[in-house]
Amino acid sequence: MKCLILAAGYATRLYPLTLHTPKALLDVAGRSILDRLVDKVERVEETDEIIVVSNAKFYDSFTAWKGGRASRLRISVLNDGSVSNEGRLGAVADIAFAVRERSIEDELLVLAGDNLFDFELACFAAFFRRTGWDCITTHRLGDMSRLRRTGVIEVDENWRVRSFEEKPAEPKSCFAAPPFYLYRRETLPLVDEFLAGGGDADAPGSFIPWLLQRRPVGAFFFEGERYDIGSPLSYEAAQRVFAAR
């Protein structure tokens, strides 16, 4: 299993913090977001490599981080070639880029580089093994305003996803779907097919509704919180939470 961490965004909503520092390398209570993610990935026994996708602006920053990070896993950094927020490839296009660039033919764990969470990725991987499906994650959200800013799913009694809607005006359930995915090796070529058909290259969840029409997708339910660090307020909130631990 490979792990792909999407970190090629420009995080303009966090300026000036992210003018010269990629969001994934921002400090959260003494450790970077990326280091905290890698800690979790290292506990997934099947994983043998982490691939970080960067843009051209921050490629050197991630390369320097890699040089100082001790890990049992091989770590590589890819430059997707974009140089501005306006010219970014987008999350789904970055998945396709990494799969092509590294000729990935393994199962692929995909994580957004700006999200922290309380659950163990090893439990997510175990669920993936049990179902044999492509899998996403989900948790309950009671806050309607937050549901309108994330993916929302409907599931059946076996936690098979029945519908997925990105940032719905009227959410159909309380099950939020953060950007953490596990794809079977057979699914990876479909990302290029999705993009070639005009699929949204930007939002990482945009691939899921299309995939649902072709393959079963499972939802791993987790307890606890997820911290989407996208604004100064959410960054400050994450700082407070992790500093108190």
Q: Are 208 and 217 in contact (CB under 8 A)?
A: yes
Q: How many CA atoms lie within 13 A of 136 on its CB side?
A: 29
What pLDDT is stored for residue 145 in this prediction?
Answer: 85
Residue 72 to residue 76: CA distance in whole angstroms: 13
For the chain, list the domains and their CATH numbers: 2-243 (3.90.550.10)
- pLDDT tens for residues 216-230? 999 999 998 999 999
Whether 143 shows a pLDDT value over 90: the answer reads: no
Residue 132 to residue 178: CA distance in whole angstroms: 20
What pLDDT is stored for residue 149 in this prediction?
Answer: 86
Model confidence band, residue 142 (pLDDT cutoffs 50, 70, 90): confident
Q: Is 76 exposed, middle or buried (0-12, 13-18, 19+ CB in 10 A)?
A: middle
- pLDDT tens for residues 48-73? 999 999 999 999 999 999 999 999 99
Q: How many CA atoms lie within 13 A of 168 on its CB side?
A: 17
What is the chain written as a DSSP string?
-EEEEE-----GGGTTTTSSS-GGG-EETTEEHHHHHHHHHHT-TT--EEEEEE-TTTHHHHHHHHHH---SSEEEEEE----SSTT---HHHHHHHHHHHHT--S-EEEEETTEEESS-HHHHHHHHHHH-SEEEEEEE---HHHHTTSEEEEE-TT-BEEEEEES-SS-SSSEEE-SEEEE-GGGTHHHHHHHHTT--SSSGGGHHHHHHTTS-EEEEE--S-EEE--SHHHHHHHHHHHHT-
- β-pair type (2-6, 108-112): parallel
- pLDDT tens for residues 6-65? 999 999 999 999 999 999 999 999 999 999 999 999 999 999 999 999 999 999 999 999
- pLDDT tens for residues 163-205? 999 899 999 999 999 999 999 999 999 999 999 999 999 988 8
